[in-house]
Amino acid sequence: MKKFMQKFSFKKYSKEARQQRRETRILMNRTVKQRFKRWLQRLTVKKVVVGTLLYAWLFVMLVIVFTPLLWMISASFTDARNLSSVPIIPRPSEWSLANYIELFTYRSRTGQRYSDYLQAFFLSLQLAVLNMILVVIISSLTGFAFSRYRFTGKKKVLLGMMTLQMFPSFMGMIALFMLFSWLGLTGNPYAVVLVYVAGAIPYNTFIVRGFMRNIPKSLDEAAMIDGATNLQIMRKIIIPLALPIMGFIAVTAFMGPWMDYILQRILLQTGGRDTVAVWLFRYMDPFSHNYNPIRFMTGALFITVPIMLVQLYMQKFVVYGLTAGAEKG
């Protein structure tokens, strides 16, 4: 045992290790000091002024963006009925959950399973998800056809779709209302999705077509040599490479029905089923007996959660699509 201890001197090893760590720390400090000195030598008055102005501008923008958000948070936890009593700077010591309790428990009719707000919330969520699925599927198929095939009238159809995008959607509100009334679809929330899908297809088709045109056609030719069909080429080659643009389309298609108010107000006014945007408007109407701007702030703050979740979830597909394959030469 003594020979073993003499052969492996742990005490000596620990001293050497401490000395080596001390020398490494000194060397790192010298390196940091040298880099800091070189940075000071390169620093000029112009760079200092420009950097200061840049960070000041970013700070001002952060204040402008976060001030309304902080005010909404403060209002949602304030037990009052007027915005004049809401402080811009939140006071957590005076917060109350009265608005959230009222928002998630109020029922205008007896026997309802959920509160009025939750019913409107789930209805808007269904419309947004359905619109997102249909827009992504139809736009992907249409963009694939326009980017990969040649057929008669291709340019005319593209020009026609481009021309339709030049006119604002407000021009067709009266025509849509008359058409829905004639077909008996006024008040049907799922029929409104058809309007959103039809309006989103031309613009998203151009985006998908432009993205898919950059995918080399040699991948299609190689797959055809191996016996793949057009559907297999689209499903196994083009779609995985086009996931970034499809994720972008999915996010914008989800936000369309979720953030819209005018179309839903016109086409659903006789159905008795309100979306979350229409329901919240009733609490900002000063001529309504339900006027409550504080509850509007509470509901508006809560409806931002699905949008944040969709964007965070779709971010994975954006990153995956950028690295999910390429042409190898």
Euclidean distance between CA atoms 143 and 249, whole angstroms: 12
Burial-class residue 318 by CB neighbours within 10 Å (0-12, 13-18, 19+): middle
Residue 218: both structure tokens together: 């040699």
Convert the pLDDT of each residue in 8-23 to its tens digit: 444 445 667 677 777 7
In this predicted structure, the answer to whether residue 34 has a pLDDT above a threshold of 80 is no
Right CATH for 105-322 from 1.10.3720.10, 3.40.309.10, 3.60.110.10, 1.10.4010.10: 1.10.3720.10
Q: What tens digit of pLDDT does each residue of 187-214 get?
A: 888 888 988 998 888 888 888 888 888 8
**Which sequence spans correspond to the domains of the chain?**
13-42, 45-96, 105-322
Predicted TM-score (pTM) of the model is 0.73
The pLDDT tens digits of the residues spanning 35-77 come to 766 766 666 666 677 778 888 999 999 989 888 888 888 888 8
End-to-end Cα distance, the chain: 64
Place of tokens 């419309």: 127
- Nearest C-alpha neighbor of 94 from the set 73, 83, 79, 72: 79
Which distant-in-sequence residues (6+ apart) come within 8 Å of 208 by Cβ? 139, 140, 142, 143, 144, 147, 242, 245, 246, 249
Percent of the chain with pLDDT over 70: 84
